[in-house]
Structure 1
Amino acid sequence: MNINTIIPFVVIFLLSCSAIARTMDILNENQTINIQSNNIVIENLNAVQEAFNTSSSTANIKVCKQSKVTICKLRLRERMVALLKFDEKIKSFILGDSLNFSFEQINHSRHTFKLQGIYPGADTNLTAIGESGLIYAFYIRIDSVKSKFLPFFVVRVVANPLLLKKAKENKKALQVENEIEKNSSKEINIDEVKESIDYLSTKPSVKPESLNFNFKIINGDEALMPKTIFDDGVWTYWQYGDKNLNSTSKLPVIYAVVDGHDMPVNSKIEGGYLITETISDKWTIRSGEAHACVHKFK
C-alpha cells in the first residue's frame, strides 16, 4: 500500500484521540456534558481533601479529658459532621456562633451530640455543663477541603471518675442542704405530727416546741435516708414508706454514735414511723454494705 494512502487515516485517528482527551479535560475542569438526549449531568466537584490520601485510620478519632484549667480544641470540615460522646448527661450548653455552627442531640440522647460547621474559616467556642456540675470547654474551627489538617469525626469526652463522683456527691449535698433550708422555712403543723404518731399516749408528755426537724445526711448512701427525721427531746422518729415498714428485711438498722462508735439502740415501729427510743446528735444508718451518717443541728 502506498504510504501517501495511509497518512490520511493516521491523521484522522490522531484527531479523534485529541478530541476524546479534550472532552476528558473539560470534564475534569468542573464543566458538565449531556449524554445523548437523557440530559444526564456528570460533574466532578473537585472537593476531595487530599490530606486523607495518607492519613491513618485513627487520625479522625479524639479523646478529650475534662479539666478545670484546659480546653479541648477541635477541627471540623465543611460538609462533614462530628459526633461528641460524653460520659455523663449534659444538662445545658452554650454555643458561641449558632450561624456557622450547630450542636444538637442525637435521638434525644443527652450523652451523644452532633457538631457541625457550615462555612470554612469560622471559629467559635462551646461550653457544656454536665448534670454533675462539671464544665466541658471547647474551641472549634472549620477548615475547607483544601486544608492540610484532618477533621475529627468521633470525639469522646471523658471526666476523671473520682472527680465526677465527687462532683455528683457535692451536688447531692447541696440539694439536701437546700431542701433542709426550704423545709425549715415552712411552719410545722404540730397537730398533724401529734396525730400521725400519737406520741403523747406512748410516753410522758412532751412539749410541742421540743420537736427538732433539723437533721441532715452528711455522707454515705442517700437512698437510706427516710422521708422525715425528727426528735421530741426524748425519742427520735424516722419516717420510711409503708411498704418498708411492713418488711423488716427492707428496713435499715439505726445506731446512735457515742464517742465515735456506733451503739445499738432500742427501736420499734409505731404509727408509720421507725422510732428509736433515745436522742443523739449523730446517727449511723446501715443496710448491708451501705451506710449513711446523719447529724442533728440545733
Structure 2
Amino acid sequence: MNINTITPFVVIFLLSCSAIARTMDILNENKTINIQSNNIVIENLNAVQEAFNTSSSTANIKVCKQSKVTICKLRLRERIATLLKFDEKIKSFILGDSLNFSFEQINNSRHTFKLQGIYPGADTNLTAIGESGLIYAFYIRIDSVKSKFLPFFVVRVVANPLLLKKAKENKKALQVENEIEKNSSKEINIDEVKKSIDYLSTKPSVKPESLNFNFKIINGDEALMPKTIFDDGVWTYWQYGDKNLNSTSKLPVIYAVVDGHDMPVNSKIEGGYLITETISDKWTIRSGEAHACVHKFK
C-alpha cells in the first residue's frame, strides 16, 4: 500500500482523537493522558464564569409578576439554558430576534418553555400572550462567561390570581356573546325546540315563540348547570330532569342577582323543571359551597 494513500487517514485520526480528548476533562490544567501511544495534553478551556465562585444558591432563580405597566428583565448566558414556567397556558408569543435567541416548548407543554441565548452581546424582547388574554413582556440579553452578572436558570412567571380569573371570565363572556351573535341570525325551529326540551308535556300554556334561550354560564361549577334554561318573559325555567323533580333529594337554590346581590325568589317544581317566578339578566345557582353564575344575553 502506498504511504501517500494512508497519510491523510492518520492525520484525520489524530485530529479526531485530539478533539475527543479535549472534552474529557477541562478542569485539570496540563493533565496528560495516553491514547494509542500518542501523548495528548488536555488544555483548560477557561470557559468557567468566575461570578459563580461567590454567588448565592438562590441567585439564579427569579419570579416575574405579570403587569400592564412594567416588564421583566432577564439575563441569559451563552451555553446556559433558562426555563420559564407560566401559571397559565401560553397561546402565542413574539420573539424579537430568532437568530441569536430561541424560545421553545418543553415536552409540548404550554406552561413551560426553554429560553436560550446563543451569542453574547445581543439583546431583544419577548412577548407572550396567555390563554386568558394577559400579556407577559420581557427584555432579554446575553452575557459572556466573563460577565460579573449571573444568568437566571429558572424563572417563574406569575399573574395576580384575581386578575387572571377576571381575565378568563371576561374572555369567556366575550366568547359567549360572539356565539350568541353568530347564532342569533339563525331561524329557530320551534318544533325541534319543543321536542328537545319536552316542553309541551310540562308547560303547555306558554307559547314557544316567546321563549328566550340565550342563557350561558359565566363562571363557577358547571356541574350545577341544568340541561336547559329559558324564560317566557314572565318566569324562568331550569330543566334538571326528564321526570318529576319532586322525587329528587337535592336541588340547587337559584337566586336572582339584583344590584350585585343574590336575592331569593319564589320557585316551584313542574315535571322536570325548577321554575323561578320571575325573570332576570343575572342569576346565581348555589348548592352547598359550590356556585355558578349565569347571564342572559338579549
TM-score range, shorter chain: 0.7 to 0.9
CA shift, 1:270, in A, is 6.8
**1:166 is matched with which residue?**
166
Larger radius of gyration: 1
- 1:34–1:41 Cα contact (<8 Å) kept: no
Structure 1 residues 81 and 226, CA gap change in structure 2 (3 angstroms): same
Return the alpha-carbon distance in structure 1 between the equivalents of residues 3 and 200 of structure 2: 132
**1:23 is matched with which residue?**
23
- 2:216–2:294 Cα contact (<8 Å) kept: yes
Return the alpha-carbon distance in structure 2 between the equivalents of residues 282 and 8 of structure 1: 84
Q: Normalization by structure 1: what TM-score?
A: 0.74
Deviations 1:132-176 (A, max 9, x none): 221111111111112222111111212222222222222222223
CA shift, 1:220, in A, is 5.2
Return the alpha-carbon distance in structure 1 between the equivalents of residues 33 and 3 of structure 2: 38
CA shift, 1:72, in A, is 0.8
Return the alpha-carbon distance in structure 2 between the equivalents of residues 56 and 107 of structure 1: 30
Q: Secondary structure at the match of 2:285?
A: strand
- 1:285–1:292 Cα contact (<8 Å) kept: yes
Return the alpha-carbon distance in structure 2 between the equivalents of residues 141 and 247 of structure 1: 67
Deviations 1:41-88 (A, max 9, x none): 523212112222222222222221111111111111111111112222
Structure 1 residues 241 and 70, CA gap change in structure 2 (3 angstroms): farther
Q: Secondary structure at the match of 1:76?
A: strand
Percent identity reads 98
Deviations 1:162-209 (A, max 9, x none): 222222222222223223323333322100122234434545543332
Return the alpha-carbon distance in structure 1 between the equivalents of residues 6 and 92 of structure 2: 80
CA shift, 1:118, in A, is 0.8
Structure 1 residues 84 and 250, CA gap change in structure 2 (3 angstroms): farther
Return the alpha-carbon distance in structure 2 between the equivalents of residues 8 and 181 of structure 1: 75
**Structure 2 unaligned regions, length at least 5:** none
CA shift, 1:228, in A, is 3.3
Deviations 1:242-273 (A, max 9, x none): 79989935642334568998676676777765
CA shift, 1:128, in A, is 1.0
**Structure 1 unaligned regions, length at least 5:** none
Structure 1 residues 143 and 10, CA gap change in structure 2 (3 angstroms): closer
- 1:255–1:265 Cα contact (<8 Å) kept: yes
Return the alpha-carbon distance in structure 1 between the equivalents of residues 57 and 2 of structure 2: 62
Return the alpha-carbon distance in structure 2 between the equivalents of residues 44 and 93 of structure 1: 40
